[in-house]
């Protein structure tokens, strides 16, 4: 309920359109009733010996009424849909912003297909909240009340019948449907989400599924998900039609009752016969406004579910979620990095990825982090980047706690290469993701040459996810992207793991040359090229087990020395 209240807030931001659509909806409803009433009256009058001028006037009124009805119906549709679609666009932006601020920590809990179903399908479902939940009862009540007031001048018995009809078709029957709807429940949203998840996985993993001959199995799962969704859609459709039929049948019964009562009143001289057709026509038209109430419970519940599903993603207070307190802080130049007793456990994991890590990296220093796979190197880098928030302890950049830095400002000031670098469909230049026009084309071409991609031109096409690039080319392009960023903090996670030794050496030389006085932290799985690094941090099982310069660590003959010996042996036997 609270979620729908929030959605109502979004609708109310479009106050002008909402008021205009209700106003024109009311005019359209009233002119429809008036038009049919005039028709009924006209037919009756025409049967009597009525002067021609009265008939001409009546026909003219009917004609004007038709234009008015068409015009106001158009205006009502225009404003109600404008209110709805601009509200949907606001909702999309709102949810996207909330999701973005929670990425990647919270979003990891949701499968991508499910998220897609929520941000596309559930937002879309909310278009019915105004059009089919909020709006119809308002129009129904206002048009009914006005008509009943008018009918009061002719017959109190018909007024009572119409009032009973309003209660029955507008409230009692929809309430009964709502009860039935609650009992049987609807899972159309969940079924759609499940199907979307299966489709996304199928698309993303198509190649692997094909290679490992699992495509058929996955196809069956996809089919099951699709059939379940279709079945639920059919169930919902049948329910919708059944509800509408019951409501329409009840409305027709009331109109029959109006006819019968009117007939009795005419026969007993309590009503002039010329008004009978008018009252029946009014009744028939009037109940068109209560028919939409038949589907009110379906759309109300669907909107409620959709709103709940949306808010369940963005509303949760995450453990370790980053909520900057004072986002105005920034650092100048190359920052120092300090970690004080930092621990981190991934959501839904019991094992600590980092355990009580403390370190200090002076401004302008060059640091390498090494260690076996799974020792927590990438996690450490991600915490410095504020992609996750430490479970315990504090991280400082230039003395400022990273939790208090605005994420955008932090990322703007950092040259990042992660293990998985994403590339977009577009040109090489597009994929350098330049923050401004500070580089000329020649300079960018030089950067490409420096990262050992001399044959690439800025206008070369990159396919989706960089599929037309080799692993090594992707890494070099990611390095070019980091260089083009031009910031004074470098955080690089295995930037050369797919490169041959010669190219790796060139890239490390380039890094030293380009980074100058900047602060650099580089994760390396290889222990070569570390002689020129100021400080090496050795990690194992989420802890720092050693640190020092290359010479110190080699002379200390500890963990690093042993790793180096193993690496040398492997290389000798390779």
Ligand X SMILES: Nc1ncnc2c1ncn2[C@@H]1O[C@H](COP(=O)(O)OP(=O)(O)OP(=O)(O)O)[C@@H](O)[C@H]1O
User: Rule CB under 6 A: which residues touch ligand X?
Assistant: 108, 346, 349, 353, 371, 373-379, 525
Shortest CB 236 distance to ligand X, Å: 37
Coil, helix or strand at residue 368: strand
The residue among 349 and 437 lying less far from ligand X, judged by its C-beta, is 349
Dig out the tokens for 270 from the structure: 């309590």
Q: How far is 261 from 161, CA to CA, in rounded Å?
A: 9
Shortest CB 416 distance to ligand X, Å: 15
Q: In terms of residues, how long is the chain?
A: 574
Assess contact for 307 and 68: CB atoms under 8 A: no
Shortest CB 313 distance to ligand X, Å: 18
Dig out the tokens for 91 from the structure: 């909702």
Q: Which residues contact 226 (CB under 8 A, 6 or more apart)?
A: 195
The residue among 237 and 374 lying less far from ligand X, judged by its C-beta, is 374
Shortest CB 127 distance to ligand X, Å: 35
Rg (C-alpha) for the chain, rounded Å, is: 35
Q: Which residues contact 565 (CB under 8 A, 6 or more apart)?
A: none
Measured torsion, CA atoms of residues 157, 159, 160, 166, in degrees rounded to the nearest 10: 150
The residue among 373 and 551 lying less far from ligand X, judged by its C-beta, is 373
The residue among 108 and 245 lying less far from ligand X, judged by its C-beta, is 108
Shortest CB 493 distance to ligand X, Å: 7
Shortest CB 373 distance to ligand X, Å: 3
Q: How far is 489 from 27, CA to CA, in rounded Å?
A: 64
Per DSSP, the chain holds a count of helices (H) and strands (E) of: 22, 12
Shortest CB 538 distance to ligand X, Å: 11
Shortest CB 107 distance to ligand X, Å: 11
The residue among 22 and 523 lying less far from ligand X, judged by its C-beta, is 523
**Cis ω before 104 (30° cut-off from 0):** yes
Shortest CB 353 distance to ligand X, Å: 3
Shortest CB 111 distance to ligand X, Å: 14
Sign of torsion over alpha carbons 62, 67, 73, 75: negative
E strands present in 402-530: 414-417, 426-427, 461-462, 489-493, 519-523
Assess contact for 374 and 543: CB atoms under 8 A: no
Shortest CB 105 distance to ligand X, Å: 9
Q: How far is 320 from 317, CA to CA, in rounded Å?
A: 9
Shortest CB 385 distance to ligand X, Å: 12
| Ordered DSSP codes for 24-84 | HHHHHHHHHHHHHHHHHHHHHHHHS---HHHHHHHHHHHHHHHHHHHHHHHHHHHHHHHHH
The residue among 398 and 493 lying less far from ligand X, judged by its C-beta, is 493
The residue among 297 and 371 lying less far from ligand X, judged by its C-beta, is 371
The residue among 108 and 233 lying less far from ligand X, judged by its C-beta, is 108
Shortest CB 225 distance to ligand X, Å: 26
Shortest CB 522 distance to ligand X, Å: 12
Shortest CB 346 distance to ligand X, Å: 3
The residue among 133 and 395 lying less far from ligand X, judged by its C-beta, is 395
Assess contact for 457 and 428: CB atoms under 8 A: yes
Q: How many C-beta atoms surround the C-beta of residue 517 within 10 A?
A: 10
Q: How far is 568 from 351, CA to CA, in rounded Å?
A: 32
The residue among 235 and 355 lying less far from ligand X, judged by its C-beta, is 355
Pairing of strands 461-462, 543-548: unpaired
Q: How far is 200 from 194, CA to CA, in rounded Å?
A: 10
Q: How far is 400 from 134, CA to CA, in rounded Å?
A: 49
The residue among 136 and 371 lying less far from ligand X, judged by its C-beta, is 371
| Ordered DSSP codes for 213-240 | T-HHHHHHHHHHHHHHHHHHHHHHHHHH
Of 163, 183, 277, 191, which Cα lies nearest the Cα of 239? 183
Pairing of strands 461-462, 426-427: antiparallel
CA distances from 542 to 342, 359, 539 (A): 10, 13, 7
- Taking the mean position of all CA atoms in its chain, how far away is CA 467? 26
């Amino acid at each position: 309920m609270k979620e729908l209240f929030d959605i109502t807030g979004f609708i109310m931001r479009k106050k002008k359109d909402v008021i205009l659509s209700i106003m024109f909806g009311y005019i359209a409803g009233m002119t429809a009733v008036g038009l049919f009433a005039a028709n009924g009256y006209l037919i009756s009058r025409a049967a009597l010996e009525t002067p021609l001028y009265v008939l001409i006037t009546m026909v003219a009124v009917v004609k004007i009424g038709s234009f008015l009805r068409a015009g106001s119906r158009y205006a009502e549709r225009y404003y109600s849909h404008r209110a709805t679609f601009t509200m949907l666009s606001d909702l999309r932006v709102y949810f996207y912003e909330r999701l973005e601020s929670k990425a990647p920590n919270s979003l990891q809990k949701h499968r991508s297909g499910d998220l897609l179903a929520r941000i596309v399908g559930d937002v879309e479902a909310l278009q019915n909240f105004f059009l089919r939940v909020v709006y119809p009862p308002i129009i129904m009540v206002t048009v009914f009340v006005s008509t009943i007031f008018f009918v009061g001048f002719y017959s109190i018995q018909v007024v009572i019948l119409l009032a009973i009809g309003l209660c029955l078709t507008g409230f009692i029957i929809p309430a009964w449907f709502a009860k039935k709807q609650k009992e049987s429940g609807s899972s159309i949203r969940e079924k759609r989400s499940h199907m979307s998840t299966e489709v996304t996985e199928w698309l993303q993993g198509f190649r692997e599924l094909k290679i490992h001959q699992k495509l058929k199995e996955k196809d069956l799962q996809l089919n099951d998900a699709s059939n379940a969704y279709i079945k639920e859609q059919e169930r919902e459709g049948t329910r919708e039609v059944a509800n509408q039929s019951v409501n329409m049948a009840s409305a027709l019964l009331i109109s029959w009752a109006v006819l019968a009562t009117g007939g009795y009143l005419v026969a007993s001289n309590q009503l002039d016969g010329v008004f009978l057709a008018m009252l029946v026509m009014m009744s028939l038209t009037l109940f068109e406004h209560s028919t939409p109430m038949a589907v009110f419970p379906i759309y109300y519940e669907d909107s409620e579910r959709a709103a709940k599903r949306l808010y369940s993603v963005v509303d949760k207070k995450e453990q370790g979620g980053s909520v900057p307190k004072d986002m105005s802080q920034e650092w100048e130049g190359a920052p120092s990095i300090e970690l004080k007793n930092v621990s981190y456990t991934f959501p839904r994991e019991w094992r600590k990825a980092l355990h009580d890590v403390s370190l200090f990296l002076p401004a302008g220093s060059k640091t390498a982090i090494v260690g076996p796979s799974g020792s927590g190197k990438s996690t450490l880098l991600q915490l410095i980047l504020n992609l996750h928030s430490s479970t315990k302890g504090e991280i400082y950049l230039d003395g400022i706690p990273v939790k208090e830095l605005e994420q955008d400002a932090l990322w703007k000031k950092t040259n990042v290469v992660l293990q998985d670098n994403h590339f977009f469909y577009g040109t090489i230049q597009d994929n350098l993701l330049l923050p401004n026009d500070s580089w000329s084309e020649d300079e960018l071409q030089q950067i490409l040459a420096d990262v050992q991609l001399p044959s690439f031109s800025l206008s070369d096409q990159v396919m989706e996810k960089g599929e037309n690039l080799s692993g090594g080319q992707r890494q070099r392009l990611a390095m070019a992207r980091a260089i083009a960023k031009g910031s004074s903090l470098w955080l690089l996670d295995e930037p050369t793991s797919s490169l041959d030794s010669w190219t790796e050496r060139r890239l490390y030389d380039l890094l030293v040359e380009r980074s100058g006085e900047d602060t650099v932290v580089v994760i390396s799985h290889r222990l070569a090229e570390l002689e020129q690094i100021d400080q090496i941090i050795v990690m194992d099982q989420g802890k720092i087990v050693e640190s020092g310069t290359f010479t110190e660590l080699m002379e200390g003959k500890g963990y690093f020395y042993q790793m180096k010996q193993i690496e040398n042996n492997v290389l000798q036997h390779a």
